Each structure stands twice: as structure tokens, then as C-alpha cells.
Amino acid sequence: MKKVFCWGLVIGLVFLVGCQKKGEESPEMKLAAALAPLPESIQKDLHSFGTSLNKGESLQALASLRAALRHFWEVTPFSLTQVKFVNSDNNSYGIYEPRDNQAFKDGEVIYLYLEPIGFGVEKKPNGKFEFGFQADFSVETEEGKVLGGQKKFATLSFSSWNYNTEIALTFTYTFSGLEKGRYKLATTVRDQVSGEDAVCEKWFEII
């Protein structure tokens, strides 16, 4: 399991221009104080980012920022974000057409879009990064009665030369024989690297 840190701090990198007043903390001291609550690895990455950026070393600054994101990702709990119904399964990260309602006809295809965060990424000996997900689902009535579902109805594996964090998943459902009314679709997504799972719930209506 990944170690989870709780931070009550929003970090902003502020670049100060102008003369420093006597007795005032230097920008470096202020940055060090702001970074102090963070894990040491992220502190070093962000400090390196600021130093490189001030020197005009854009590529090195970008590399440090990506390293900070990677270290942040490693301590972020696995979660599901941007969960919504969409109009098709032809989607990529941030590129989709959201459905304007949650009402479906009996037998109509339902597309559920989501973006996982904090999932594990494993680096292989050949240098590639691998990660993946499995998913279960269930359908419930408004009274909480489970009408059905399936374990491991989807298995998705990824392999990349980059440490990817921008991943979108689209699940396709087709339900027939449901009476008119509201139902809860619960989808459990399991991170295949860390073993963690997260659940998202969306209500839909059969009309």
C-alpha cells in the first residue's frame, strides 16, 4: 500500500522581483519555509525547479517539475475523478462529449467516463512503465436492492515509455428488462499495481 500524507497546505511558487527590504526574508528562505511540510523528495524537486527556472534552464526546470509530480503521485491515494456519463466510447483524457442528462431507454447503451488518479506505475527492466485496472459493477434500486452485476467485467492494461498520469477510462453498459425508474450504477475500479480500489456511484433513470 502507498503511504498517504495529509497536507493542509497549498503550495505556490512565487518569484519575487525587485529590491529586498532590510530585515526581510530572502526569496530562498521563504521558499524553504513553504516547502518544509512536504516530503523531502518533493522539496528537492520543487527547489530544483525554482533554481533552474530562475537560471533560464527550461528543460531542466520541466524535468524537475515532472519529478515532483511523480513523487506526489506515489503518495496520492488511488481515487476516481471526473466521473460522468458521455455520448460515446471514443474518448481520451479530457476529450469527450458529456451527456446532457441521465435518462436512458431500456436497452440503450450507457457510457461512463472517469479519470483515475494515484494509481501505481511499475517500471520494467526494459525501461517501459506498466499499469492497469480491473473493474466490477453492480446495479441497485432506490431501496438498495442489488439487481445484478459482474466481477472483473473489464481488465485494462497499459504500457508506455513515459510515466503517464493522464489516463481516461470509459466503461460501456447495456441493461435490458429494467422497469422505469431510478437506479444506482456502482463501479469499482481496482489498481492492478498497488491493489487499492475505489468506487464511483452514478444514478441513472430508465424512461
Asked if residue 94 has pLDDT above 90, the reply is: yes
**What integer pLDDT is reported at residue 2 of this predicted model?**
42
Is 4 part of any domain? no
Is 38 part of any domain? yes
Q: What's the mean per-residue pLDDT of the chain?
A: 85
CB neighbour class for 124 (10 Å; exposed up to 12, middle 13-18, buried from 19): exposed
54: containing domain: 27-74
Half-sphere exposure for 65 (CA within 13 Å, toward CB) = 12
Number of structural domains (the chain) is 2
Band (pLDDT 50/70/90 cuts) for residue 110 is very high
Write down which residue in 58, 74, 90 finishes a domain. Answer: 74
Q: Is 107 found in the same domain as 166?
A: yes
pLDDT in tens, 4-30: 333 333 333 333 333 344 455 555 565
pLDDT above 70 covers a percentage of the chain that reads 82
Measure the CA–CA gap between 191 and 110, rounded to whole angstroms. 23
**What integer pLDDT is reported at residue 24 of this predicted model?**
58
Mean pLDDT of 166-193: 97
Rounded to the nearest angstrom, the gap between the alpha carbon of residue 173 and the centroid of all alpha carbons in its chain is: 22
Q: Is 138 found in the same domain as 96?
A: yes
pLDDT in tens, 20-64: 444 555 555 654 555 556 678 888 888 888 888 889 999 999 999
Q: What is the CATH number of the domain that holds 198?
A: 2.60.40.1930
**What integer pLDDT is reported at residue 196 of this predicted model?**
96
